[in-house]
A and B are shown apart, each in its own frame.
Chain A
Amino acid sequence: MSRISFWLQRIAQLLIVLLLVTFGVSLLLRLVPVDLATILLPASSEGEREILRAELGFDKGPIGYYLQWLGNFVQGDFGKIYFSGGTEEVSDHLKQAMPRSLLLMVYTQILSLVIAVPLGVLSAYRAGRRADKIISNSLFALSSVPNFAIALLLVIFVGVKFAWLPTLGYVPIAEGYWEHLKHMIMPVISLSLGLIATYTRLLRADMIAALREDYVTMAASKGLSDRRILWRHVLRPSSMTLLTSAALSMGALIGGAIVIESIFATYGIGFEVFAAIGGRQYIALQSTVAVIALFYVFFNLVVDVGSGFVDPRTRDRRVNA
């Protein structure tokens, strides 16, 4: 299989996943035993609801409704949020929420990887020794603490008791990078600690396996330093699981950081999902879930691309399959 057709096939698979996910959500919403127009416009007249039904395709069958929604979605019309005083565009909400979630995710990944990679390498290198045991046990303990508990501890001590950092809100980079960072530090730490534990343990396991490979013995017998062997020859092929895990957790962080977003009132995509569910804003929910699914799919694609660079053997295997 040529490289181009492999990627075309991969992209087609991901598009099918996207279509299935969004159609599934759409179908679920249509199965809700309520009149969606009444839910969205509880205080309006029946005539106004009729107009809304036609506008949103509620008067069509599930497939007709889905196609109408999809057509709007791909053109950037994500629908509206309805309330007594009017409407707000879902896209405006996402425009505001997306940078928050993306930055939170990026900072979390950077912090997690910057700490987890050296720890994982050290732990694998010193496997079974005191350093490894300390790291492994500490991380085991750390991974058992839910991120919201860490967040609350940070709020109590760092935010309230010592008043070192603000406990809530989000400040865009444009309003000052230091202010921005100050608001992101505690949420990022809260989300990172669990990931650090996971990443370190994944990397450790893969590196221990790699260290047993013949090429490592060969490199050592050629007189290469341990550092060079670890960082140049072992880390790269041992990073596949870590990379996959990191990419998947990126998708999860986009929509799944709702508890942390609530504690620190940063209000990213997770909060939008929560608000849409709580307010039964079905169109907003459908579009937001679709955006989250897009990110999942995108990061899956990134893993595919990235894994080829990290370990060319996987790229060749795919193409030759």
Chain B
Amino acid sequence: MKKLFTGGRRKVAAVMAIALVASLSQVTTSSASGASTPKRGGNITVGIFDSFPGFCMADNLANSALMGARTIYETWVEQRSDGKIVPYVLKSFEHSADYKTWNLVVRDGIKFHDGSPVDGTALLLNLQASRGALYLNGLIGKTPKSPSSGTGAGFSANIADVVQTGAMSVTVKLYNGEANYPDSLYASGRNFVRSIAQITGPNCSTVPIGTGAFKYVSHKLTELVVAKNDNYWRKDAKGGALPYLDGITFTFIPDAQPRVSGVKSGSLAATMFSSASEAKQILALQKDKKVTTISSPLDYYPTIWLNHKVAPFSSKNARLAFSHSLDRAKWLKVRQKGLGTVPDSIVGPNNIMYNKKGYAGYDLKKAKEYAAAYVTETGKTPEFSLPYVSASADSTANAQLMKEMAEAAGFKVNLLSQTTAEAIQKAFPMQYQMLPLLLMEGTGTAFILPFIVSDTSGGNPTHFLRGAAKLSPALAGLQIFYSILNISSFKDEVSENLLFAARAEPNVAKAKKLYAQATEQLQKEAHVANISFLQYSLTYNKLGGVGELGLAAGGPRRLVTNFGIDWTGVWSTK
């Protein structure tokens, strides 16, 4: 949305309290200046393109703002550069033979910034909060309660129960086996370890309390200030205290140009970009030897969600006509300045679901044929409204180009000006005929599968949200969480069965085959369309240690993602 894809992504990543994924850290690096000896102290400013609406589960910070929040918060598990999910604030996780029971054990000696311990109770309440159980408590007058679950309830609907089994341990019971449950627990870096006081308190949105290397100092919509956590639990390779920096200010700078000049002049120590609308700046910075630019892989897959409940996309003919009308090569050249690749699947090559079979790529002749078939089928011209953010020049240009492409195939397209907030409100549940929105990402399926199945609980008849309906008819509406993430509102039993079977399959090769079959089915039916893949970049100036600090369990972490880099081991070389 904002910038057609990016903005939506920003806010809607927004609507994700839980996500899953990972993307192998096959980053590209340009230039480089390295200082090998850590230097302590200093405050730096980092430019970001997302704002800080809040820090509770429902606030769902997007991308670059997420980077700021992740200096305060850590996650129970982390993703290594090879994509493997490993324990982080957790000491370990173990599963049963059927992958339906997972025992999680918390690492000893970690404390929240408010001094409270990170233990089994904290883990239990974090998991219950993210699956919506504490939100339900609030609705039925029980405690502990939390103000909202965000959309975490939809993401974690496969959880049948969560039980504390010891002072530092919790057991998670799943309805369907999930061979890669830790991927869901990682939630694409969004499933934060929040203190009990924050989750259950009145200031959940405004005062973040985590375990991270930096503590919250202040924030407003356009800025987050964090300061060094003197009691941080991790040490550097030589046993020295972390972090090195005294403080960081993350400042919201919506325009790319000031971010570029800021980092080049040294006014900013670092700044982030998205290839959705800032490809030109990324390409220029990659050539600039005075700064270092690191980029994520193209592991972010913007989707054009076609609403199956209303015309014209209730018709397969219209969906195929639209998908075939999208000239991805032209889009890549015009809108992304050649940065990226032409999509040939609904997900990128690094994703386990990647499959070219059945993909309705650009073919104007076919597009016209399917559009004509739609006219024969319905007696009407295929017509739809294309939502875009008129306040954004990029979003407007994106919408106009997409309109041109669809109209060349025989569609009638009306541009519909929206704000990002409106788009989110009307997307969940879907009130548009179609909506371009970046939701799917990574190498796994934890942040993909919930968007393309009709029931994220897998049909679990005993799931607590179904039980809520028995408590009160007024709570029956909570069941919307099972399907709200599938904004195209389709139910395809073939792809769904394949997806659930693949998720339960521990053998990676077998799982990959099942996922690929599911992708083929989704593409044959043109349930969703796409036009580009995206990446995120971070440019920095006079910083050392970027990407050098490994994970607590060993091994390097992903260097750069949609939420930038890890700031724990970074120092200023100024």
Residues of chain A at the chain B interface (Cβ within 8 Å): 38-39, 42-43, 81, 83-86, 88, 152, 155-156, 159-160, 163, 166-169, 262-265, 267, 277-280
Contacts and interface: CB of A to CB of B under 8 A. Distances in A.
Given A156-B261, A160-B265, A277-B391, A84 B422 contact: no
B419 interface: yes
Interface of B: 14, 45, 51-56, 58-60, 205-206, 220-222, 251, 253-255, 257-258, 261-262, 264-268, 391, 419, 421-422, 424-425
A156 B251 CA distance: 21
A86 B222 CA distance: 14
Contacts of A156: 261
Instruction: Select the residue from A156, A264, A278 with max chain B CB neighbours within 10 A.
Output: A278
Contacts of B45: 169
A86 B251 contact: no
A144 to B, nearest CB: 22
A280 B261 contact: no
Contact of A39 (B251, B262, B421): B421
Given A262-B255, A279-B421, A168 B55 contact: no
Given A167-B267, A280-B419, A42 B261 contact: no
A263 B257 contact: yes
A42 B258 contact: no
Given A39-B419, A279-B419, A280-B419, A86 B206 contact: yes
The 8 closest A-B pairs by CB, nearest first: A85-B54, A42-B425, A85-B205, A83-B53, A278-B391, A167-B265, A167-B261, A85-B53
A160 B266 CA distance: 8
Instruction: Select the residue from A155, A166, A168, A279 with max chain B CB neighbours within 10 A.
Output: A168
B419 A159 contact: no
6 contacts: A81-B221, A85-B59, A163-B265, A166-B267, A168-B258, A168-B268
A83 B261 contact: no
B206 A85 contact: yes
Contact of B266 (A39, A85, A163): A163
A126 to B, nearest CB: 40
B145 to A, nearest CB: 16
A152 B265 CA distance: 13
B265 A166 contact: yes
B453 to A, nearest CB: 23
Nearest to B264: A160
A264 B265 CA distance: 12
Given A39-B421, A43-B424, A160-B261, A86 B58 contact: no
B221 A88 contact: yes
Contacts of A39: 419, 421-422
Nearest to A158: B265
A84 B55 CA distance: 10
B262 A265 contact: yes
A167 B258 contact: yes
Nearest to B45: A169
A41 to B, nearest CB: 9
B285 to A, nearest CB: 12
B422 A42 contact: yes
A83 B205 CA distance: 11
Contacts of B258: 167-168, 262-265
A156 B261 CA distance: 7
Given A85-B55, A85-B206, A264-B258, 4 more contacts: A85-B56, A155-B265, A262-B254, A262-B255
Given A262-B258, A264-B258, A86 B54 contact: yes
Contacts of A160: 261, 264-265
Instruction: Select the residue from A81, A84, A152 with max chain B CB neighbours within 10 A.
Output: A84
A159 B53 contact: no
Contacts of B220: 88
Contacts of B56: 85
A159 B541 CA distance: 14
Nearest to A81: B221
Contacts of B419: 39, 278-280
A168 B421 contact: no
A84 B54 contact: yes
